[in-house]
Amino acid sequence: MAVLEKSRKVVAESLIGQRIPKMDAPEKASGKTRYIHDLDLSGQLHARILRSARIHARIKSIDTRAAKALPGVHVVLTAADLPDQRPIGVAKDHFPLKGEVVRSQRDEIAAVAAESVEIAEAALKLIRVEYEDLPVVADARAAIAPGAPLIHPPRQGAPAGAAVAYTGRPDNVAMRFDYSHGDVIQAEADSDVVIEDSFKLHYVTHCCMGVSGVIAEFDASGYLTLYSNTQVPFLHKREFAEYLNMDPARIRIIQPPIGGGFGSKLDVYPFEVICVFLARAAQRPVKLVFTREEEFLASPTRQPVLLTLRSGCKKDGTLTFRTVHTLHDNGAYTSWGATTPFVMMQTFSSLYRVPHCDYHTTAVYTNNPYAGSFRGYGNLQATFAIEQHMDMLADAIGMDPLAFRLKNAQESGEVTGQGMVFKSCGFKDCLTTAATRSDYVVKRAAYRARQKDAGAVKRGIGMASMLHVGGGAKIYPSDGCGTMLKMDDFGALTLITGASEIGQGSETVLAQLVCEELGLPISAVTVVNNDTDITPWDVGVHASRTTFIAGNSAIGAAKKAKAKILAAAARKYECAEETLDLKGGFIVRKESDEALIELAKFIRGLHFSDKAELVMTTFYYEPPSVHQDKGFKGDVSATYAWATQVVEVEVDTATGIVSMTHVTGAHDVGRVLNRLGLEGQIEGGVIMGQGYALTENLMVEDGRIRNPNFRDYKLVTAPEIPAMDVSFIESMDGEGPQGAKGVGEAPAICIAAATANAIENATGVRLFELPFTPEKVYRALHGQTEKLYWAPWKPE
Amino acid sequence: MSLKTEIEFTLNGVKRRATVPVEMSTLDLLRDVVGLTGTKYGCGEGECGACTIEVDGLTVNSCLMFAVDCAGRSVNTIESLAGEPLGERLRAAFVEQGAVQCGFCTPGMMMQAAHVLSACGAQDDKAIARGIEGNLCRCTGYKKIVEAIAVAGKATGA
């Protein structure tokens, strides 16, 4: 709150670091927010999609006659009706509607637009499909076995360089990543200790509380408006133009508030393109909303990963090398999520100082669910393996695991083998803060000493740390964001940003940053952030980039507005610009904070003068990062975020039930901008990590999801959450907005790894496969688990 | 087509009639017939709590209750909390304590919270957490939701 004292001195607090409630929270807490599910356009039809009854099969025939004849049905589409369908996805390896072959349980065969959801569903039941089964590849290892059935077999007659959907592939390899720095062979020879283990990471899915949905509408001129849940509106617009053979200038994307994202809304999905096809055919708005079961079956998962890690160190605790081979199950088609190795290799190469590192990933096609992008983007999987090995190496040389980590931890000024430059690095502070606040060293020794004590319930404590991009990630040609700022005659601001709000609180933090520059209260701002016809370009919500990139962009626009105002004020008051400032809604003298004039009044004066002027500015921020070279090297983010999390568990050795009792986290966030929002991101991420470690498991058998519901797919509920203690390390990043870094993904990353270390501390038994369900833990504790081993594999 | 029946019930304090197909859920009655969209569809099978409403003083998953069973009953939705003292306190607490992120679970969560506080009075965090265990949230990790309910409970002095 700003106060104008009798002496005309303005007193106002900085907004930075305060607990500022989300601007959209009052609407949301009143049930007034209109999510896509709550929007209806006049004349709107409702769509449903017929998905495959088989996992891998040739489609022999589709008969839609009865469906088309059902009263209330407007359009029924199959691939046969759409000879101009174009392949979609990162690898352009599938068509929205499948006409020849279905390759997964999700696969879309037909779509109906009808006057109600009930009629559309009834019509689906009338569609007859004849299939001829093909052999199912239900495991990534089976996909690379000699003679494995091919998911996208080579096709004759396609022009060279055509998309996978036209050419097929000679094998099931969708993507391959090979990275190296140093000489791991020599480094291994020089190591005192070498260990090798395999790790297996399972399927989990986003479980956004709001199911997927889209509304498509063409106007009379053929201009398409899409009401979409996407996290990447401008990339979406470009992709839709390609998939629909349309001019991108004729596509507008409006983003209603989103019921959860977490990475699930990065790709263009078949259902979205199909909905547009239906709207085009019907010449009516068409709305398509999933059921929860469909959300489980047809929205993406986190990458399941099989991983073999070989690590070494010297007796004095110096890390020597790391060799990593991973096998990723893409499912039948390639999503953005297949590029998770970009993140994974950063963790392997650069979380600690590792002089020699080899990293290899093969992402394969199978008939399993479509694995996509999910908060943390491969980093949960990589960290799970690395941080267990850090404990194991420390044990092997008889060193305390905290001391071992501190010895190898990165510091400010480091340039890693992968070319990442750590300008501000609070890693060691994270390690010591989390360890101190959790009493890690003392408890770990005490719990280890009690492993053999009587009593079924054992306690354990474990630690893990993470490195993640915190200043964007230069993957796309630009990693930037645009801002337009308008100040009106009443001193109110409209902040128009390319950055989307997906519940993470970006609109509030951006408003805060702008108000801090212009000396205004948050209540002065309206944020516009959800319409590609209005907002300037942004690459999208991913890579924990919005606070950093959109924040810098917003500050840039605010600084320009401020400069314009102060220059005009300096003319009016005949003083130097540098002696003036904006504070508490006034133009003030910088030295004394003496109010000269109310800001709104001054702006009205500018407007209604001979040289009428409006205060409107634009800014585009491009971070000073670089694209990786062909060897995946380069400083891809403007800064990097760090965290250490310590997990305490109780393990009931009689039942295998693991309870998470405490999580102590220390996060290098650069600087705290909105403490309330930041805590919310961390706490939510921790509990998502808890679910990944202990309860969530999308069960896939022979390509079929067995538990597409919240009964059998167990999310963490309120009584199960641990006590959470979160500390923030303020490393004040030189490039960050007010010194801040991105943190959205960070809190989910370490939890599973730290839990594995805690279970080992409690029981002496190490677990290499997630999730730690009671059955799995019980079997491991009672010697009923075979040691997992995956022999690294390379394509020929 | 399906059999329809006319019902009379009290919705958010106002008596009204509706003609509903016998197989319709109360959730669909509220959203599609009445047009009150604050009550959310999250799963349609009583597992997530996003569609929580209050019927004759008890909270229920509206997706599991037939619309025809609203006949003669008093039904309250998230929209009923506006202007009502406990509802306003809860809303303020949810906003100020950071209990809202994407907000999709929030209406159901607040209906359950209102019930917990009005039926059981001010509670400790453990009891509050038990009280909302049928309501899933994917964003917040629940901690701030529990804190918000506790704050609203204290302010109520219930």
- List C-alpha distances in Å: A312 to A231, A318, A386, A397, B158: 40, 9, 12, 11, 61
> What would the two tokens of residue A540 be?
């999208």
**Cis-peptide, bond into residue A771, ω within 30° of zero:** yes
Residues 6+ apart with CB under 8 A from A158: A166, A167, A168
Segments in chain A below pLDDT 50? none
Answer whether A709 sits within 8 Å of B81, measured CB to CB: no
Which CATH number fits the domain that encloses residue B137? 1.10.150.120
Say yes or no: B57 and B114 in one domain: no
In a domain, A788, yes or no: no
In angstroms, the separation between the Cα of residue A724 and the nearest Cα of chain B is 8
**Residue that is written with structure tokens 């502070």 in the block:** A429
Say yes or no: A238 and A123 in one domain: yes
Q: Which of B79, B102, B133 has the most A C-beta neighbours within 10 Å, making it the best mutation to test the interface with A?
A: B102
Q: In this prediction, what percent of chain B has a pLDDT beyond 70?
A: 97
In angstroms, the separation between the Cα of residue A21 and the nearest Cα of chain B is 5
The chain A residue lying nearest B24, using CA atoms, is A118
Confidence band (pLDDT; 50, 70, 90) for B155? confident
Confidence band (pLDDT; 50, 70, 90) for B122? confident
Q: Which of B32, B126, B138, B149 has the most A C-beta neighbours within 10 Å, making it the best mutation to test the interface with A?
A: B138
Q: Which of B42, B65, B80 is the last residue of a domain?
A: B80
**Domain residue limits at B128:** 82-156
Say yes or no: A423 and A439 in one domain: yes
pLDDT at B156: 61
Q: A519 and A533 in contact (C-beta within 8 Å)?
A: no
Q: How far is the C-alpha of A522 from the C-alpha of A571, rounded, in Å?
A: 28
Provide φ and ψ at B125, rounded to 5°: -60, -35
Say yes or no: B88 and B135 in one domain: yes
> What would the two tokens of residue A61 be?
């025939």
**Could you give the number of structural domains in chain A?**
3
Which CATH number fits the domain that encloses residue A62? 3.90.1170.50
Closest CA to A78 of A112, A44, A120: A112
Closest CA to A228 of A36, A45, A47: A36
Q: How far is the C-alpha of A361 from the C-alpha of A378, rounded, in Å?
A: 11
> What would the two tokens of residue A503 be?
């519940």
Show residues of chain A in contact with B99, CB under 8 Å.
Answer: 29
Say yes or no: B25 and B64 in one domain: yes
DSSP reduced 3-state for A292:
helix
Show residues of chain B in contact with A683, CB under 8 Å.
Answer: 140-144
**Domain residue limits at A20:** 8-35+480-621
pLDDT tens for each residue of A616-651: 999 999 999 999 999 999 999 999 999 999 999 999
> What would the two tokens of residue A622 be?
């491009």
CB pairs under 8 A between A and B: 170
Q: Which of A20, A28, A33, A546 has the most B C-beta neighbours within 10 Å, making it the best mutation to test the interface with B?
A: A28
Show residues of chain B in contact with A715, CB under 8 Å.
Answer: 136, 138
In angstroms, the separation between the Cα of residue B148 and the nearest Cα of chain A is 12
Question: Closest to B104 (Cβ–Cβ): which among A22, A209, A717?
Answer: A209
In angstroms, the separation between the Cα of residue A762 and the nearest Cα of chain B is 25
Say yes or no: B113 and B139 in one domain: yes
Burial label for A68, CB within 10 Å (0-12, 13-18, 19+), is: middle
**Could you give the number of structural domains in chain B?**
2
Could you tell me how many residues make up chain B? 158
Say yes or no: B56 and B115 in one domain: no
Answer whether A718 sits within 8 Å of B48, measured CB to CB: no
Distance of CA A201 to the CA centre of its chain: 18
Q: A555 and A545 in contact (C-beta within 8 Å)?
A: no
Answer whether A684 sits within 8 Å of B136, measured CB to CB: no
Answer whether B91 sits within 8 Å of A709, measured CB to CB: no
Answer whether B133 sits within 8 Å of A257, measured CB to CB: no
Answer whether B102 sits within 8 Å of A719, measured CB to CB: no
In angstroms, the separation between the Cα of residue B116 and the nearest Cα of chain A is 14
Say yes or no: A674 and A767 in one domain: yes
pLDDT at A438: 98
pLDDT at A793: 87
Say yes or no: B68 and B124 in one domain: no
Answer whether B144 sits within 8 Å of A503, measured CB to CB: no
Q: A494 and A486 in contact (C-beta within 8 Å)?
A: yes
Say yes or no: B59 and B119 in one domain: no
Question: Closest to A687 (Cβ–Cβ): which among B44, B126, B142?
Answer: B142
Question: Closest to A291 (Cβ–Cβ): which among B44, B48, B101?
Answer: B44
